[in-house]
C-alpha cells in the first residue's frame, strides 16, 4: 500500500500542477481577450470621435458641385450687414470683387474701399448687376452686423451691390488662407494685414488679384474682364 502511494504521489502532483498551469493560462488568455476587446472598443470609440471631428471639418467642402479651385466649396455660414445668414455661394453666377478689412482700420482699409468704389464707378451701369463687391471683416470680436451696416451707410455702399460680412475666427482664417491674405492682431487690438483685392469669376474661382494701395483704376478695371 505504501509502495502504491509512493509510486502514485508524483503522478498526482504532476496532474495537480498541470491543472494549475492550465487554469492559470486560461485566466491569462481570458484577460488578454478582455483587454483586446476593451482596446477594440476604445479604438472604435476613438475612431467615432475622430469621425465626428472630421465630419465637422470636412462637411465644409462640397466636392463635385464646384470646381476644385472654387471658394464656393466652403459652406461656412456668415452674417451680412443686416444680420442675415449667408453663404459665399450665394454669389454664384456673379463676378465678385472681394477684400478683407476691418471697420476701425484708420488708413489702408479706407484706401481699399475707395479703390473699390472707383472700380464700381468704372463699370458701365448696364453691366453693374453682374458684379458684387464683398467686404469680409477680419475683426470677429468687434465688427458686428450693426457696425458693418453703419460703416456701409456712412460710405454710401449700395446694399444691392455691396455685401459686408462677419464670421468666426475660424471662418476668417480659412478664407484668408485660401485667397492668400495675411493678417495679425497686435496688442492694441488693431491689425496689420495685406492690402489685397481679389477678383472672383462666376464659378467662385480666383481670376485675378491686385496687391498694394492706390492702384490705377484702369489697371483694376482691366482685371474685371480677364
Residue 216 banded pLDDT, cuts 50, 70, 90? low
Burial class (CB in 10 A: 0-12, 13-18, 19+), 78: buried
Q: What does the pLDDT look like over 17-71, one tens digit per residue?
A: 555 555 545 544 444 444 444 333 333 333 233 333 233 333 444 445 788 899 9
Q: Return the ∠ at Cα 59 (arms to 56 and 63), rounded to 5°.
A: 155
Nearest to 171 by CA among 137, 132, 202: 137
Measured distance CA(12)–CA(178) in Å, rounded: 79
Measured distance CA(169)–CA(140) in Å, rounded: 6
Spacing of C-alpha 148 from chain mean position = 22
pLDDT at 213 over 90: no
Tell me what pLDDT residue 64 has.
57
Higher pLDDT, 214 or 59: 214
Tell me what pLDDT residue 149 has.
98
Give me the residue spans of the domains in the chain.
Answer: 1-59, 71-224
Which pTM value belongs to this model? 0.70
Q: What does the pLDDT look like over 61-107, one tens digit per residue?
A: 444 578 889 999 998 999 999 999 999 999 999 999 999 999 999 99
Instruction: List Cβ neighbours of 189 (8 Å cut-off, separation of 6 or more).
Output: 142
Which grid cell sits at 155? 460710405
Residue 160 banded pLDDT, cuts 50, 70, 90? very high
Tell me what pLDDT residue 66 has.
84
* Alpha-carbon distances of 146 from 55, 96, 153, 193, rounded to whole Å: 32, 23, 11, 23
Interhelix angle for 108-122 vs 217-224, to 10°?
A: 60
Tell me what pLDDT residue 135 has.
98
Q: What does the pLDDT look like over 108-136, one tens digit per residue?
A: 999 999 999 999 999 999 999 999 999 99
Tell me what pLDDT residue 5 has.
45
Tell me what pLDDT residue 49 has.
33
* Helix and strand counts by DSSP (H, E) for the chain: 5, 9
Which grid cell sits at 190? 488693431
Record: fold of 71-224? Glutaredoxin (3.40.30)
Measured distance CA(72)–CA(197) in Å, rounded: 18
Tell me what pLDDT residue 33 has.
45
Residue 226 banded pLDDT, cuts 50, 70, 90? low
Query: Quick one: average pLDDT of 158-187?
Result: 96
Amino acid at each position: 500500500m505504501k509502495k502504491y502511494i509512493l509510486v502514485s504521489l508524483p503522478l498526482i502532483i504532476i496532474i495537480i500542477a498541470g491543472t494549475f498551469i492550465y487554469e492559470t493560462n486560461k485566466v491569462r488568455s481570458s484577460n488578454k481577450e478582455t483587454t483586446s476587446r476593451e482596446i477594440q472598443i476604445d479604438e472604435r470609440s476613438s475612431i467615432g470621435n475622430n469621425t465626428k471631428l472630421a465630419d465637422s471639418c470636412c462637411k465644409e467642402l462640397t466636392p463635385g458641385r464646384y470646381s476644385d479651385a472654387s471658394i464656393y466649396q466652403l459652406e461656412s455660414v456668415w452674417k451680412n450687414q443686416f444680420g442675415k445668414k449667408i453663404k459665399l455661394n450665394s454669389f454664384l453666377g456673379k463676378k465678385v470683387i472681394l477684400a478683407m478689412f476691418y471697420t476701425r482700420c484708420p488708413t489702408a482699409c479706407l484706401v481699399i474701399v475707395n479703390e473699390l468704389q472707383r472700380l464700381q464707378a468704372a463699370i458701365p451701369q448696364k453691366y453693374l448687376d453682374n458684379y458684387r463687391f464683398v467686404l469680409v471683416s477680419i475683426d470677429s470680436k468687434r465688427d458686428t452686423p450693426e457696425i458693418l451696416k453703419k460703416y456701409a451707410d456712412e460710405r454710401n455702399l449700395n446694399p444691392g451691390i455691396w455685401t459686408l460680412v462677419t464670421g468666426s475666427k475660424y471662418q476668417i482664417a480659412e478664407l484668408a488662407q485660401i485667397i492668400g491674405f495675411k493678417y495679425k492682431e497686435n496688442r492694441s487690438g488693431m491689425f496689420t494685414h495685406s492690402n489685397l483685392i481679389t477678383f472672383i469669376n462666376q464659378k467662385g474661382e480666383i481670376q485675378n488679384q491686385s496687391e498694394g494701395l492706390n492702384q490705377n483704376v484702369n489697371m483694376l478695371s482691366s482685371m474685371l474682364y480677364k
